[in-house]
Amino acid sequence: MADVIIIGAGLSGLFAAKKLTDKGLNVLVLEGRTRLGGRILSIPHEGGVLELGAQWIAPTHHRVKSLVAEAGLTFTPTYTKGKTLCYQMNGGAEVQTDPFSLLTKLELFRFKRKLEKLSATIPKESPWEAEGAQELDSQTVESFCHQMIGTSVGKTFIRRKLEELLCNELTEISLLDLLWCIGTAGSINAVLAGEKYWLKEGTQGLIIYLAGALPENCLELGIKVEKIDWGNDGVTVYGNGQLFAAKKLIITLPPRLCSDIAYDPPLPAMRDQFTQQNDQSSVIKCLVVYDCPFWRMKGYSGTSYKGEGPVHMTIDSSINDRLGVLTVIIAGQEARTFGALTEVERREIVIATLIRVFGDEARTPLRYLDKNWSEDPFSRGGYGAHFPPGVITQFQDVLFRPIGPLHFAGSETATEWRLYMEGALVSAERVVDEITTESSSKGYR
| CATH number of the structural domain spanning residue 246 | 3.50.50.60
Q: What percent of the chain has pLDDT over 90?
A: 86
Q: What is the mean pLDDT of residues 333-352?
A: 95
Q: What is the mean pLDDT of residues 392-408?
A: 96
Whether 187 and 209 share a structural domain: no
At which of 192, 225, 258 does a domain end?
192
Q: Is residue 50 part of a domain?
A: no
Q: Is residue 150 part of a domain?
A: yes
Q: Is residue 93 part of a domain?
A: no
The phi-psi region of residue 401 (left if phi > 0; otherwise alpha if psi is between -120 and 50; otherwise beta) is beta
Whether 186 and 112 share a structural domain: yes
Q: Is residue 355 part of a domain?
A: no
C-alpha torsion sign, points 370, 375, 379, 385: positive
Instruction: Say how far apart CA 362 and CA 349 lie, in whole Å.
Output: 12
Confidence band, pLDDT 50/70/90 cuts, at residue 383:
confident
Find out whether 424 and 12 touch, Cβ atoms under 8 Å.
yes
Given a cut of 90, whether residue 424 has pLDDT beyond it is yes
Q: What is the pLDDT of residue 384?
A: 83
Q: Is residue 74 part of a domain?
A: no
Looking up residue 186, the CATH number of its domain turns out to be 1.10.405.10
pLDDT per residue as tens digits for the range 251-285: 999 988 998 999 999 999 999 999 888 777 889 99
At which of 192, 221, 236 does a domain end?
192
What residues contact residue 104 under an 8 Å CB cut-off, 6+ apart?
151, 153, 154, 157
Whether 171 and 223 share a structural domain: no
Whether 210 and 261 share a structural domain: yes
What is the average pLDDT score of the chain? 94
Whether 262 and 407 share a structural domain: yes
Cis amide leading into 238 (omega within 30)? no
Q: What is the mean pLDDT of residues 373-383?
A: 87
At which of 163, 192, 221 does a domain end?
192
Instruction: Say how far apart CA 39 and CA 29 lie, in whole Å.
Output: 16
Q: Is residue 320 part of a domain?
A: no
Q: Is residue 170 part of a domain?
A: yes
Q: Is residue 385 part of a domain?
A: no
Exposed/middle/buried for residue 5 (C-beta within 10 Å: 0-12, 13-18, 19+)? buried
Q: What is the pLDDT of residue 30?
A: 98
> Which domain, by its residues, includes 257?
2-39+204-267+403-442
CA atoms within 13 A on the CB side of 86: 18
The count of structural domains within the chain is 2
Q: What is the pLDDT of residue 440?
A: 54
Whether 124 and 188 share a structural domain: yes
Give the single-character DSSP code of 253: S
Whether 169 and 218 share a structural domain: no
Whether 116 and 178 share a structural domain: yes
- Print burial letters for 128-144: b (CB count within 10 Å at least 16), e (below 16): bebeebeebbebbbbeb
pLDDT per residue as tens digits for the range 94-117: 899 999 999 999 999 999 999 999
Whether 139 and 219 share a structural domain: no
Confidence band, pLDDT 50/70/90 cuts, at residue 442:
low
Q: What is the pLDDT of residue 164?
A: 86
Whether 219 and 180 share a structural domain: no
Q: What is the DSSP string of 121-184?
A: TS-TT-GGGSTTHHHHHHSBHHHHHHHH--SHHHHHHHHHHHHHHH-S-GGGSBHHHHHHHHHH
Q: What is the pLDDT of residue 445?
A: 41
Q: How many other C-beta atoms lie within 10 A of the C-beta of residue 429?
A: 17
Whether 188 and 214 share a structural domain: no
Confidence band, pLDDT 50/70/90 cuts, at residue 444:
very low
Whether 186 and 215 share a structural domain: no
